[in-house]
């Protein structure tokens, strides 16, 4: 049995897909079909989207642009080693609680009422996860670099990402007032659990090919010279094929072209690349390796004659 869209359904799908891609482009992001489709599916199913890929491939930027496109607030949780519930979910304002307790009388009846009052919303400090689900207007929740957190924190996220609710021991369960469009990013520094993956849709976002990166540069630099644009993406592509400690990100390429544009450069040269290489590369060993290769006349011989 052949599965697929009807001719009319295909046309409607294509129109919506192109509208989404155009909308993202207007916000400064050029998305391919698979990226635009998975964003639609995530929104339709109210399921989180896990985006994996190399650092600097545009995962975080996609979440930022998605929030602009949807006209939603972006709530960002930056993960790191050792992050826990108090930094991600909530914590009690202990100083305010203490001041409140000190302001009350010491008799037993007052203390009974006080002990209940200090665990009210007034004393609750919302962190990104709680803020996202208590917001009356749906937001975009970015859980950035989830792979930097530990497995315990990853397990803690499961209730939120599957049921959109949070259990607070002192007050009970808080059910989401609105379901955020959740995007989790990972640079693949460690394997994520199958339990987390089951709760998410999936997208692998790699560095763009030369044509798409050229389109990105043209979006940011409408007057970019053809020769400089082609030389830039060819050179950057060559860098990303090298074994380096850190490959240049899309944002670093944009920074590089910003400088070249400010200098009025229309064509690359070895001397110019060497003078500006530390905009693209951020490790001494990487710079030295590429400078050595640049001094080999045949390494980038095709760059200057696109």
Domain that holds residue 172: 7-89+127-204
Boundary (domain end) residue, out of 174, 204, 234: 204
Same domain membership, residue 148 and residue 270: no
Helix (H, G, I), strand (E, B) or coil at 172: strand
Count of domains forming the chain:
2
The pLDDT of residue 12: 47
Question: Which CATH number is 169's domain given?
Answer: 3.40.50.300
The pLDDT of residue 11: 47
Residue 166 pLDDT greater than 90, yes or no: no
Same domain membership, residue 279 and residue 220: yes
**Residue 178 included in any domain:** yes
Boundary (domain end) residue, out of 204, 236, 264: 204
Same domain membership, residue 56 and residue 28: yes
**Residue 247 included in any domain:** yes
- Rounded Cα distance between 193 and 157, Å, is 11
* pTM for this predicted structure: 0.82
Quick check: 148 and 189 in contact, CB under 8 A? yes
**Residue 237 included in any domain:** yes
Q: What is the dihedral sign for C-alpha 125, 128, 130, 131?
A: positive
Same domain membership, residue 138 and residue 244: no
Same domain membership, residue 140 and residue 239: no
The pLDDT of residue 4: 43
Contacts of residue 54, Cβ cutoff 8 Å, sequence gap at least 6: 187, 188, 206, 207, 247
**Residue 82 included in any domain:** yes
**Residue 276 included in any domain:** yes
The pLDDT of residue 126: 73
Length of the chain equals: 306
Distance of CA 127 to the CA centre of its chain: 18
**Residue 216 included in any domain:** yes
**Residue 119 included in any domain:** no
Same domain membership, residue 133 and residue 269: no
Pair of tokens at residue 208: 């763009």
Higher pLDDT, 31 or 104: 31
Boundary (domain end) residue, out of 204, 238, 264: 204
pLDDT 10s digits, 91-103: 665 566 576 666 6
Q: What is the dihedral sign for C-alpha 238, 277, 265, 24?
A: positive
Quick check: 201 and 47 in contact, CB under 8 A? yes
Q: Using 50, 70 and 90 to split pLDDT, how confident is the model at 120?
A: low
Same domain membership, residue 288 and residue 153: no
The pLDDT of residue 88: 81
């Amino acid at each position: 049995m052949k599965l697929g869209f009807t001719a009319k359904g295909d046309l409607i799908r294509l129109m919506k897909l192109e509208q989404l891609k155009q909308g993202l482009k207007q916000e400064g992001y050029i998305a391919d079909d698979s990226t635009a489709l998975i964003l639609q599916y995530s929104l339709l199913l109210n399921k989180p989207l896990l985006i994996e890929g190399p650092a600097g491939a545009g995962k975080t930027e996609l979440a930022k642009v998605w929030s602009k496109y949807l006209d939603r607030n972006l709530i960002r949780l930056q993960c790191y080693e050792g992050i826990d519930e108090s930094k991600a979910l909530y914590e009690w304002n202990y100083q305010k609680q203490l001041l409140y307790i000190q302001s009350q009388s010491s008799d037993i009846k007052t203390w009974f009422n006080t002990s209940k009052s200090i665990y009210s919303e007034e004393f609750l400090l919302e962190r990104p996860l709680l803020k996202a689900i208590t917001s009356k207007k749906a937001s975009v929740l970015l859980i950035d670099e989830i792979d930097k957190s530990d497995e315990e924190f990853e397990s803690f996220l499961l209730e939120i990402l599957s049921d959109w609710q949070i259990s607070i021991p002192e007050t009970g369960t808080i059910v989401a007032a609105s379901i955020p469009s959740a995007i989790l990013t990972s640079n693949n520094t460690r394997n994520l659990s199958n339990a987390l993956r089951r709760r998410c849709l999936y997208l692998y976002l790699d560095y763009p090919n030369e044509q798409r990166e050229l389109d990105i540069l043209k979006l940011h630099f409408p007057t970019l010279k053809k020769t400089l644009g082609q030389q830039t993406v060819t050179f950057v592509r060559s860098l990303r094929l090298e074994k380096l400690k850190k490959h240049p990100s899309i944002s670093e390429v944009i920074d590089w072209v910003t400088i070249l544009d400010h200098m009025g450069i229309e064509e690359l040269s070895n001397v110019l690349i060497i003078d500006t290489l530390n905009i693209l590369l951020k490790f001494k060993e990487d710079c030295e390796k590429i400078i050595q290769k640049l001094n080999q006349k045949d390494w980038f011989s095709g760059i200057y004659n696109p």
